[in-house]
A = this chain, B = another copy of it.
Amino acid sequence: MQSPTRQVFFLSNGTAITAETLGLSLLAQFPSHHFQTRTIPFVDTLEKAHAVSDEIDRSINQSNQLPIVICTMGDDDLMKIITQSKALVIDPFGDILPRLEKVLASQHLQPGQSHRIVNPSLYESRIDAIDYAMQHDDGGKIQNYDEADIILVGVSRSGKTPSCLYLALQFGIKAANYPITEEDMEYEQLPEPIRPFKQSLYGLTTNLNRLVNIRQERRPDSRYSSVDQCRYELRAVEDMYLRHNIKYINTSEMSVEEISARIIRDNELHRVELS
């Protein structure tokens, strides 16, 4: 039985990234329910808090169901206003901060500042990594591969670009990617530009159906998106990975987040220090 749609609010006086990330993880535990989520960042004045609280209350009239609010509000007065709304209000910091305070033996600040720039050198590392990923996307620039923390290889549309960008943005990791073309597949050796960097290579592959579907959206009814062509390319790259002893993963069931987390783990990549 499909439940009716339930309203869920992710609130914060900051970016609301923490409330949203935690909230979505929690909701994923209830797959038989249908949720309509709304993220409201920068609820940073009494006026805005009252407006949001009113909005939460109005949503009850529409759906006749108790709304859920996940709220990492960095101000007790603001939090109080949200708590007074007619909803299940969850304050993830509320239970945890006192326990941390006890161990650290010091008072916490008010939350809501965690996604500001705290560490300028971390910011610089991310920006450098993004520059690197942009320049070295899709074999665009084949110099400076020696600077790469990792070089992703794979056929067109196997997830190389999003993974490189996520690694750069989220973790400050310098990731290049090099597409294995049909021409490359005809040779036993690795393509010349990546041959000296075997230790930095990591292969992506995917399922036949998924590749066909993704390519069909780009170039419908073309040779590029045909079953035969996709099957040939996937076999050829997987043979290449095995022949040259290149670690690889099948990305077809994975989100960009999961691909990136596995690449970091499998290659013991050094992430930029986060705090």
Give the B-binding residues of A (Cβ under 8 A). Answer: 3, 6, 14-18, 20-22, 24-33, 35, 37, 39, 41-42, 66, 68, 72, 88, 90, 92-93, 95-97, 99-100, 103-104, 106, 108-111, 113-118, 123-124, 126-127, 130-131, 134, 137, 161-162, 165-166, 169, 214, 217, 253-258, 260-262, 264-265, 271, 273-275
Contacts A41-B261, A68-B103, A169-B165: A18 and B25 contacting too (C-beta < 8 A)? yes
Q: CB within 8 A of A97: which of B26, B39, B130, B214?
A: B26
* Chain B proximity of A83: nearest CB distance (Å): 14
* Chain B proximity of A116: nearest CB distance (Å): 6
* Chain B proximity of A160: nearest CB distance (Å): 11
| CB neighbours of A275 from chain B (8 A) | 24, 27-28, 35, 37
A-B contact pairs, 14 of them (CB 8 A): A18-B21, A25-B111, A27-B275, A28-B109, A28-B111, A28-B113, A28-B275, A39-B271, A42-B262, A68-B100, A88-B103, A116-B254, A126-B162, A165-B169
Contacts A15-B261, A106-B30, A134-B161: A22 and B22 contacting too (C-beta < 8 A)? yes
| CB neighbours of A217 from chain B (8 A) | 124
**Assembled-state Cα–Cα distance A169/B17 (Å):** 14
Whether A96 pairs with B92 at a CB distance below 8 angstroms is yes
Report the nearest B residue to A32, measured CB to CB: B106
| CB neighbours of A271 from chain B (8 A) | 39
Report the nearest B residue to A95, measured CB to CB: B95
Q: Which of A15, A31, A66, A131 has the most CB of B within 10 A?
A: A15
Q: Which of A16, A20, A103 has the most CB of B within 10 A?
A: A103
| CB neighbours of A123 from chain B (8 A) | 255
| CB neighbours of A28 from chain B (8 A) | 109, 111, 113-114, 118, 275
**Assembled-state Cα–Cα distance A91/B163 (Å):** 29
Q: CB within 8 A of A96: which of B90, B134, B273?
A: B90
Report the nearest B residue to A103, measured CB to CB: B88
Whether A161 pairs with B130 at a CB distance below 8 angstroms is yes
Q: Which of A66, A130, A162 has the most CB of B within 10 A?
A: A162
| CB neighbours of A22 from chain B (8 A) | 18, 21-22, 92
